[in-house]
Structure 1
Amino acid sequence: MKRSRIRSRIIWAMVLVVLMMTASACASKEEKAAETTKPTAAATTPGEEQKEPALEPVELTWYFPSGLQNIKDVQAVEDEMNKIVQPQINATIRLKPVDWGAFEQKVNTMNAAGESYDMVFTAPWSNNYFQNVAKGSLKPLDDLLDQYAPKLKASVPAKVWDATRVGGKIYGSINYQVVAMPFGASIDQRFIDKYKVDVSAITKYEDFEPYLAQWKEAFPPFYAVKGSSDGFTNQPPYFGMDSIGDDSLVGWVKLDDSELKVINQYASPEFKSFMELKRKWNKAGYFSKDLMDAAQVDAIAKNNKDVYTPFSIATALKPGNAAEVKEKYKADVVDKPLSKAIVTTARAIATMTGISETSKNPERAMMFLELINSDKALYNLMSHGIEGKHYKITDADKGVIESIVDSGYQPSSDWMFGNQFNGYYVSPSQVGVWEETIELNNTADASPLIGFSFDGEAVKTEITATASVWKQYADIFANGLDDTDKVLPEFLEKMNKAGAEKIIAEKQRQIDEWKKTR
C-alpha cells in the first residue's frame, strides 16, 4: 500500500512537470509572436540601454542661392561635412548652390515639375515663403521639430517661431540671427572725410543731398540694379509702418495705429515722396545709366579701389554690419540708423530653411537641420569652409578667423545656413557682436503685428496677379527710371484691377479676428 502511494505521487509529480513545461512553451511562443510586432532593436549587454533601430542610409539635397564664383571648393566642403553628418544620422548631404539670379526660377521649375528634393532656402524676399506655403511646396514642420530637432526648437524664442506660422503651422526652420534692427545708411569713411559729412545731423535720406553733387564728380554713381529693392518695401519701419506677409504685397499697417487699419502702402504719401526722391536723384545722374545684375555690382564694389559706395540706401543695420563690410569689401564704413530697431515678422523670418513637400526623407532632413543648428563645427564648415584651406584662426580664445583670399570658398552668407550665434567672428572688431545681437533681439520694441501671420489662401489668385504687376514696375521705382507722376497712377490702377482691394480687405478681416484673441 505504501509503495502504491509513493508510485502515485511520482506519477502526479511527473504530470505536473509536463504541464508546467507545456505552459512555459506556450508562453514563450506568445512572447515571440508579440515581439514580431515591435521594431527590432540592437542587442544590449547588461546595464546598457537598448538602442534605436539602425537608420537606413539616405541622401539629402539642399538648395540655396550663392555667388558661385565664391564657392568653387563646394565639393571639398561637402565631403568634410559628411564626415560629421554620416556617422550621426547616416545621411549624406548634397549641397546644391544656385546662382542668385537663377535661384527662384530654378526652385519654381522644380516645384512645378514635382521634382523630389529635401531642403531649400526660403524667405519673404527670396524664393517667397508665403507663396511657397500657398502653393503647398513646403511641409509643415511642427511635429518634425518637436520629435527630431529639440535643440533647434529651444534655441529660438517662441515669439520668433510664431512669426513663421501660416494658418497656425510652421513651414520654415529659422536661421536664427538678428530679428530686430534699425534701417538706415552705411557710409564710406572716405566719403565722410572728403566731404566733411556731419553724420550726427543726418536723420533721413534727404539729408545726404548737399553732398551728392560733389560726390558725383569724384565717385561712381549708385548702381542701378535689376531686381533690387526700391528702398521702400524693404524698410517699412523707416516709414513708420509694418508689412503683412511678403514685404511687397499690398496692405501694410502703421506702427502707431492702435486700430491696426490696413492701408495700401503704394497709395500713401510716404511711398510717393520716396519714389519722387529716387527719380530726382536719377535725373541728376546719381544712378548708373544701365541696369546691372547683382553679380556685376558685387564685382564692381569689390574691385573699386577708391570707394565701396559713398552710402547705401535702405541698409538693415545689424550689429557687426561694418565689420562684415570691411571683411567683404575691405572698406571702412560708419552705420547711421535712421529708424528705431523693431522686431517685425519680416525680420524674424528673413532667412529660413524649408523642407520640400516632395522630400522622401523629411525626418532625416529635420535631423540634419538639428545638427547644422547645434553642431558648431558643422555650421562653421558650411559657413566658412575648411580650416587651413579657406580660413585661418587668428584668435582661438575669442573665436576670430581670417579668410584666406581667393581660397575657393567664401560664401559670406553664414546667416543663410543656421544659427549665426554658433559662428566664428570674421574680424577682431566683430568680437562681442553675437552677445550684442541677442541683447538687441530681447530688448527691442516689437511691432503690434508680431505673432500675426497672414493666410493668403482665400486671395491667392489676387496675390499672384498683384505680384506680377509689382514685378513690372519694381526696377522703375527702385532706380528712379521714370517720372513718378506718370508711372504711379498707372501702377495703382493695375494693382487695383489685379485685386489689391480684395487683399487689403482679407488682411483686415484676419487681423480683426486675431485681435479678439490677444
Structure 2
Amino acid sequence: MVLQKRLHAAIVCKLLVALLLAGCGSNGPKESGSASPAAVPTASEQGDETEGSKEQLPPVELTYYYVGTPQKDLPLVEAEMNKILKKKINATIKLKLIDWGSYDQKMNVMIAAGDEMDLMFTAPWSNNYYQNVEKNALLPLDDLLDKYAPRLKATVPAYVWDATRIRGKIYGAINWQIIAMQYGFDMREDLADKYGLDMDKVNKYDELEPFLDKLAAGEPGVTPLSYVNNYDIFNGQAPYFGMDTIGDDASPGWLYLDDSETRVINQYASPEYEQFVRLMHKWHEKGFFRKDNASITDNTADTKAGRYGGSLAATVAPGVESTVFLRFGVHKKFKALSPALVTTGRAIATMTGISATSKNPERAMMFLELINTDKELYNLLCHGIEGKHYVFVDKEKGVIGMPEGITPETNGYAPGTDWMFGNQFNGYYISEADVGNWEKTQQLNESAVRSPLLGFNFNPEPVKAELAQASTVIKQYHNSLVSGSVDPDKFLPEFLEKLKSAGADKVVAEKQKQIDAWKSAK
C-alpha cells in the first residue's frame, strides 16, 4: 500500500478493517441491542442451518463504514455477500466505502452527530481508535466476542487482544494478518533496474540519495518520491527510528526500544526527528517530492500512471509486491530498513469496531465471526466475484488472477485492502509467487521481537486538555516539516516552543507515570 495511508497500509501487508466494538454484557439497552443475547444463537450455531434455526433471528440490515478507493462494482459484491449473510445470520449489509481523503473527517462528523451505524474501520492511524473510545463511540466487545465470535476470539493470540484493551476492555476486533511490521521504502522495479539501484546496499534513507539524483535527472516526467499528507512518514514508522509510540502515534511521548529503563521522551525534540526533517527539506529542495506535496491527500491516480518512482515509510511483508501490483498495476521492489517488531500500534493497526449507536451489536459481531471464518464471504469482500473480477489460476493452491482483458485500471472491483477485513490467512493468493506467504507471515509474527510496551495502553484522560492543545500545534507544523516543504532552521524551534507551551512536557510526564505503574503491576 504505497498510497501511503493505504498503500502503506496495504503494503503494510494488507491490514484490514476489523476494529469492531460491541456491547459488553446483556445489561442495559446499549449493550444488549435489539435482540436479547440469550435468545440469539451464535454465528457458529447458525452456520448453514435450516430455515427453522434462521427464523429465530429477525431480519436486520447492518451498515459497515470503512476506507478505501471507490469501486464501481461495489453494489454487485454487496448483493453477493448478502446472499450468504441472509442464509447464515438472516442479515444484509450496506457497504459504506469512503475515500481515503475524506474518511476521517466524515467519520468524525457522523460520530459527533450520534449517527446510527453498526460497524466501522478504526485504527490508531485512521478513524482514531483511542479517540473513539474516549468519545464513547465504540462498544466494549469482550462479552460479544465470547458469545458470538468464539472462533475469531480463539484465532488471535491473547497478547494481541490485550494490546487492544483500554482500561481493561476490548473495543476493537482484530483483523488478523501480519503484526510483525518492518518499515522501509519501495521503488518502481523498472526504474531501480534502469538506474542501478542496489537494494542490498541501502540500509537507511539517506543512502538513497545518489539513486534519487539520477532518477530526478534522467526521468523528467517522474517525481522520485510520493507523499500524501494524511499518512505520517515519521510517526507512522517509529521502529525505523528505534522507538515505539505510546497511545496516539502523533501525541508527544515515545520511548527508545533499547532503553531498559523505558524513559519517555518527546519524539519531536529528538535528534532522530531533527535529522529526518532536515533530510526531507533537502530532498524537497532537490525536487525529489512534488512542490505541493504537503497538500496532497490522494496519490492513487498518479501512482497508477507511473508518475512516482517510489515512496518512504513503506511497510514490508511477505507478498507486498503482489498486493501493490494488484492495486496499482505497477511492479515495485521493497526493502525493509527496520527489524520485524510487534508493537501495540502494529498489533491493533487494523480493527473493526461496533458503534455505540448500533441497534444490532449481536448481529454485527456475528458478521465479524463470519468474515473471519467464512472463506467465501471474506474473499468476496476482498476480491469480488469469480469470473467477473478474478479467475482461478490454480484453484487447488488458491491462486487467482484477473480475467482475460481485465487490468487493475479496468477492473470494476479490485480494492487491494484485504488486510482491512477479517482473517487475511483465509485469502486467496494473487500471484503464484505468493504461495506459502501466509505460513511465512505467521512464522514472522511468532518469531518477531516484541516491544517492551506491548499490551500497554495509555489513558489520555488526565492530560486531555494538553493533548488537544498539542494536537493543534502538531497539525500546524508537523506536516510542513516532515514533508520537507519548510525550512527546519526556522520552523522546528517554533514548533518545539509552541509544543512546550501547549503542555507537551506534562503529557510526557503522565505517560511516564502510567508506564511506571504498569511495569510495577506486572
Per-residue CA distance 1:17-65 (angstroms, 9 max, x = gap): xxxxxxxxxxxxxxxxxxxxx9799xxxxxx9x9698111111100011
Distance 1:399 1:493, change over 3 A: same
- Cα pair 2:40 2:56 within 8 Å, conserved: no
C-alpha distance in 1 between matches for 2:312 and 2:39: 59
The one-letter code matched in structure 2 to 1:254 is Y
The one-letter code matched in structure 2 to 1:382 is L
After TM superposition, list the pairs within 5 Å mapping 1:272-351 onto structure 2: 272-291=274-293, 293-295=296-298, 297-304=299-306, 309-351=308-350
C-alpha distance in 2 between matches for 1:452 and 1:485: 36
Distance 1:101 1:149, change over 3 A: same
- Cα pair 2:291 2:485 within 8 Å, conserved: no
How far off is 1:204 after superposition? 0.6
How far off is 1:455 after superposition? 1.4
Where does structure 1 lack aligned partners over 5 or more consecutive residues? Answer: 1-37, 42-47
C-alpha distance in 2 between matches for 1:92 and 1:407: 25
2:374 aligned residue:
375
Per-residue CA distance 1:79-134 (angstroms, 9 max, x = gap): 11011111211111111111111111111111111111101000111101111111
After TM superposition, list the pairs within 5 Å mapping 1:476-491 onto structure 2: 476-491=480-495
After TM superposition, list the pairs within 5 Å mapping 1:188-203 onto structure 2: 188-203=188-203
1:500 aligned residue:
504
1:172 aligned residue:
172
- Cα pair 2:246 2:253 within 8 Å, conserved: yes
Given candidates 498, 502, 513, the residue that maps to 1:509 is: 513
The one-letter code matched in structure 2 to 1:498 is A
1:250 aligned residue:
252
- Identify which range, 412-421 or 226-235, moves more after superposition: 226-235
2:352 aligned residue:
353
Per-residue CA distance 1:365-393 (angstroms, 9 max, x = gap): 10110011110000001111111111111
The alignment status of 1:396 with 2:402, answered yes or no, reads no
How far off is 1:461 after superposition? 2.4
- Identify which range, 144-153 or 196-205, moves more after superposition: 196-205
C-alpha distance in 2 between matches for 1:300 and 1:192: 18
C-alpha distance in 2 between matches for 1:459 and 1:246: 13
C-alpha distance in 2 between matches for 1:79 and 1:290: 41
How far off is 1:490 after superposition? 1.1
How far off is 1:495 after superposition? 1.6
How far off is 1:246 after superposition? 1.7
Residue-pair matches, total: 468
How far off is 1:299 after superposition? 0.7
C-alpha distance in 1 between matches for 2:242 and 2:162: 22
Distance 1:66 1:357, change over 3 A: same
1:162 aligned residue:
162
The one-letter code matched in structure 2 to 1:168 is G
Per-residue CA distance 1:414-466 (angstroms, 9 max, x = gap): 11111111111111121111111000001101001111111112222222222
Per-residue CA distance 1:196-247 (angstroms, 9 max, x = gap): 2222221111111122222112232245644243422111111111001121
Where does structure 2 lack aligned partners over 5 or more consecutive residues? Answer: 1-37, 42-49
How far off is 1:501 after superposition? 1.5
TM-score by length of 1: 0.87
- Cα pair 1:224 1:290 within 8 Å, conserved: no
C-alpha distance in 1 between matches for 2:99 and 2:230: 16
SS in 1 for 2:223: coil
C-alpha distance in 2 between matches for 1:209 and 1:98: 36
SS in 1 for 2:229: coil
- Cα pair 1:55 1:89 within 8 Å, conserved: yes
The one of the two structures with greater contact order (alpha-carbon pairs below 8 A, sep at least 6) is: 2
Larger Rg: 1
2:271 aligned residue:
269
The one-letter code matched in structure 2 to 1:492 is L
1:81 aligned residue:
81
- Cα pair 2:189 2:331 within 8 Å, conserved: yes
- Identify which range, 343-352 or 397-406, moves more after superposition: 397-406
1:18 aligned residue:
none
C-alpha distance in 2 between matches for 1:51 and 1:413: 34
- Cα pair 2:481 2:487 within 8 Å, conserved: no
SS in 2 for 1:101: coil
The alignment status of 1:235 with 2:240, answered yes or no, reads no
Distance 1:136 1:273, change over 3 A: same
Higher helix share: 1
How far off is 1:336 after superposition? 1.5
How far off is 1:511 after superposition? 0.5
How far off is 1:142 after superposition? 0.6
- Identify which range, 405-414 or 156-165, moves more after superposition: 405-414
- Cα pair 1:230 1:477 within 8 Å, conserved: no
- Cα pair 1:230 1:479 within 8 Å, conserved: no
How far off is 1:470 after superposition? 1.5
- Cα pair 1:227 1:474 within 8 Å, conserved: no
C-alpha distance in 2 between matches for 1:286 and 1:235: 20
C-alpha distance in 2 between matches for 1:60 and 1:318: 33
- Cα pair 1:40 1:53 within 8 Å, conserved: no
SS in 1 for 2:339: coil
1:456 aligned residue:
460
C-alpha distance in 1 between matches for 2:469 and 2:40: 53
The alignment status of 1:95 with 2:95, answered yes or no, reads yes
The sequence identity of aligned pairs, in percent, is 53
- Cα pair 1:226 1:475 within 8 Å, conserved: no
The one-letter code matched in structure 1 to 2:203 is T
C-alpha distance in 2 between matches for 1:378 and 1:462: 44
- Cα pair 2:354 2:364 within 8 Å, conserved: yes
- Identify which range, 129-138 or 470-479, moves more after superposition: 470-479
SS in 2 for 1:72: coil
- Cα pair 2:140 2:169 within 8 Å, conserved: yes
The one-letter code matched in structure 1 to 2:296 is D
